[in-house]
Structure formats: C-alpha cells, structure tokens
Amino acid sequence: MKRFTCSGCSLLCDDIIVKTDGLYVTEVIGACLKGKERFDLVSAQNRITKPMVRKDGELKQVSWDEAYEKATEIIKSSSNALLYGFSNVTCEAQEAGMKLAEKVNGFIDSNASICQGKFLNKARNLGINLTTITEIINKGDLIILWGANPAETIPRLLNKVLFSRGKFRMTGREIKTLVIIDPIKTASFRVMGVRDLPLIIETNKDIDLIRTLKEECCSADSVPPEGVAGIDQSDLKRLLLHLTGAENGVIILGQGVIQPHPDYDLVEELLELLQMINERQVKGRISLLLMGGHFNMAGFDHVALSVYGDFGKLEFKNNQMVKTEDTLISKIEKDDFDSTIVVGTDPIAHLPQSLSSKLANKPLILIDNHSTTTSHIADVVFPTSITGIENGGLVYRLDQVPIELQKIVNPPNNLPSDEKLLTELIKSLNQGGSK
C-alpha cells in the first residue's frame, strides 16, 4: 500500500492510500465517493481503449495509424481550428496542446475561461490576494461560501479548511465562522452550527447585496431596515461585521456567481468590494479561493503564462501568437471556426444547445479516456491513459499550488498519455499522415 494523490477534483488530496497488485487498483482508502469513482474509471464500462473513426455515420474501431491519418486530414483541411478542454490533463499535455494550436494556427481555450479563469484574471488586475488551503487551515477564522457548494463538488474541502485544527490556532472549527450565500439550501448548509450565518439570497440578486455592502461597507448601523435581496437587516449587519472584523477571512467563489449578465459585471463588483474591505480593514484581510472543479483547471493559465507570456485563451496566426478579444463562446457564437479538437471534456453535454449544435456541425476530434456525449458525435476519437492513475505529471491545485501526480498502474493496451498523443499528432502533421 502506498500514498498517492487523488485526481478526482481540483483539491488533489495527497493522503489517499492505494493498494495495487501491479496490474489493477485493488483498494482505495481515504478518498471520498467522487475520488473512488475516479479510480473506478480504470475499469469503467464506458472506458475507451481503441481509437475510432466515423465511417458511414458510425464510429468504428480502427488502427492508430488510420486514426492519425484521419485526424491529420481533418486538421490539414481546416484553417481555423478550435482547441478546447485541457482542464483534465497535465500541464505537460496543456503545453503540447498549445504547441499544436501554434502549429495549426488555431485558437486554444480551457474550461477555466468559462469558469474560475474569469475571476483569476480580474483578481490579478486588482491585486486581490488568492489564498491557499494551508493558509486557511492554519490561520482562517471566517469562511464564506458564495455560490459554492463544496459538499458536493469538492467533497473534502470543508473537512480540510473548516474542521482542521490550524498550526497557529489552538482551536479549529470552534473559532471558524462559516457563512453561506446561496439562493438554494445546498448540501453544504448541513455542516453549519449555531454561530454560523446561512444566507438564502433571492435568485440573481447577488449584485444588489454586493452594491449594498459596498455602500455600507464601514457602517453596519446604516444598513437598510428592509434588508436586501431577501436577507434581513440583522443578518446583513452580521455579515458586515464578519467581513470587516475577520483576521483571516476567505471567500470561496463557486459557479453560482459567475453567470454573465448583460447589465453589470458581478465578478468585478465583488472584487471591488473585497478591495474596499481590505483597504479599510484594521487588523485582518479577506482573500479569495476559486473553486474550479476539474483537477488541473488552474494549470492552463500557469502554462500559458510561462510559455507564451499571456494567460487564458491563446490565438495563433502564421505560427505566431496574436492578441485576441475572443473567447471560446464568442468563437462558437460567430461560427468563427471550421474544426474542433476537444481534450478531456464534454462540451456537447455542457454547453447550451445553441452552441453545442454548432460544434456538432463541424469536424470534431476528441481525445479522452471514456465515452461521453461528445464522443458520440466526434469524427475521430483517440483514447488516452487516465492521469493520476495510469500516467503522472504536473498539475495545479485549486489554490494554485503545483503538485506532481504519480503513475500507479499501467494503462490498458499501452494507451498513450494526453501529452504523448498530442505530441504524436504534431509529428503526424509534420509527416503528412501516420505517426
């Protein structure tokens, strides 16, 4: 038995005991259900272990050479490829994906750009602190979940940050106040105690709460008597006192806060509120933790920044990076692409139908380890090994800390890692067909 890191989500728990007979994972101890499911993927029924190409409307198993030939044919007849996904692969694979985008003069974007990446870029511009899990465990006294439901998406996050006893505090949960702001009573509300603050906010009224907090920032006495966004005056006062009085507070932001709105930028207003509180704080500060779900959602920006000096999406023309205002969504909306290479994600299931139907109407190459809605419409499917179990590599935890994943067992059929496959695809393009 040995200790390994779980790649079931972006928390990357490094305390998972795994027993293996050399061929299979036979026992997993310490992982949550989601983590256990990650290990179960190795022998899952929907595992893909052979490359496939669509022929006469149906996906058929083919040789690796034939799959590379078909993929090369699609890429060579495309002049405006879209590369998307890359949050469920290592940083090495992300870099190989960027090299492929550079080679084919494509546009590359990760899942993070429609999720936590939005915050990251703005927080950097405003100079807001991003905190780490260790920092919250050791020093935290206020945890605010805003539109975030870690009990179901990052199951062991609250175990670590809320219930752990910190190095610099003799007490743990007893002195940590939990505030949850959400329009629905999620599973995370179940861990709340008497001194915590559950705030059920009216749907799409986060902006009203933020603006009121900005106005009343340092004067809890002047909060509106009628409350705001469904939160009454007394709870608003308590929220303000927590925000302005915490020594080491953190706001954990989830998907619930990032839905775009045509009339205002919620993310920007929330970050401005944080900046305002921190400027006026006498003894403490409030920082941020971004709750991306995929295990390497944070890595893409780090790789893009270190290799190309920019973060977020990248666009290439004449094999050079060019500035772009586009996003994955705008590219699809404008129909500004003629083929797609999807890596480790399922956009056909996750994007709105108006966008996914556009993706489905153009040639699509999928690199993934199990069948999904996207694999059902793909023209070429390349299977790969499972990162964190069948291959190792560098990934970034949700708090931007780099972690090296280890290989535990060999993949079936000697499947390549995502990095190897993308590198072979580049080679195949250079050679004009088979690898």
Residues in touch with ligand SF4 (CB under 6 A): 6, 8-9, 11-13, 31-32, 34-35, 154-156
Shortest approach of ligand SF4 to residue 160 CB, angstroms? Answer: 9
Give percent helix, percent strand, percent coil of the chain, each to the nearest 5.
40, 20, 40
Shortest approach of ligand SF4 to residue 124 CB, angstroms? Answer: 25
Shortest approach of ligand SF4 to residue 185 CB, angstroms? Answer: 22
**Of 120, 155, 159, 128, nearest in space to 143 by CA:** 159
Shortest approach of ligand SF4 to residue 225 CB, angstroms? Answer: 42
Buried b (16+ CB within 10 A) or exposed e, 251-275: bbbbbbbbeeeeeeebbeebbbbbe
| Closest to ligand SF4 by CB, 12 or 223 | 12
Shortest approach of ligand SF4 to residue 35 CB, angstroms? Answer: 3
How many other C-beta atoms can be found within 10 angstroms of the C-beta atom of residue 352? 9
| Closest to ligand SF4 by CB, 122 or 160 | 160
| Closest to ligand SF4 by CB, 157 or 314 | 157
| Closest to ligand SF4 by CB, 52 or 154 | 154
| Closest to ligand SF4 by CB, 12 or 343 | 12
| Closest to ligand SF4 by CB, 10 or 423 | 10
| Closest to ligand SF4 by CB, 3 or 195 | 3
Cα 187-177-174 angle, rounded to 5 deg: 105
Whole-number Å distance between alpha carbons of 233 and 313: 42
| Closest to ligand SF4 by CB, 42 or 154 | 154
Alpha helices in 219-372 (DSSP H): 233-245, 266-280, 299-308, 328-333, 347-350, 353-360
| Closest to ligand SF4 by CB, 155 or 312 | 155
| Closest to ligand SF4 by CB, 90 or 428 | 90
> From start to end of 170-210, where are the E strands?
177-182, 197-200
- The three-state secondary structure class of 67 is helix
| Closest to ligand SF4 by CB, 331 or 397 | 397
Shortest approach of ligand SF4 to residue 296 CB, angstroms? Answer: 12
Running DSSP on this structure, what letter comes out for residue 410? P
How many other C-beta atoms can be found within 10 angstroms of the C-beta atom of residue 340? 28
Shortest approach of ligand SF4 to residue 191 CB, angstroms? Answer: 15
DSSP string computed for 235-280 = HHHHHHHHHHH-SEEEEEE-GGG----SS--HHHHHHHHHHHHHHH
Residue nearest to ligand SF4 (CB): 8
Shortest approach of ligand SF4 to residue 33 CB, angstroms? Answer: 8
Say what the alpha-carbon torsion angle 181, 182, 185, 188 is, to the nearest 10 degrees: -60
Q: Under a CB-based contact definition with an 8 Å cutoff, are residues 433 and 72 in contact?
A: yes
> From start to end of 102-141, where are the E strands?
107-110
Whole-number Å distance between alpha carbons of 226 and 229: 10
Shortest approach of ligand SF4 to residue 9 CB, angstroms? Answer: 3
Matching residue, tokens 């586009």 = 326
Shortest approach of ligand SF4 to residue 36 CB, angstroms? Answer: 8
Residues 6+ apart with CB under 8 A from 265: none
Cα 66-67-71 angle, rounded to 5 deg: 115
Shortest approach of ligand SF4 to residue 12 CB, angstroms? Answer: 5
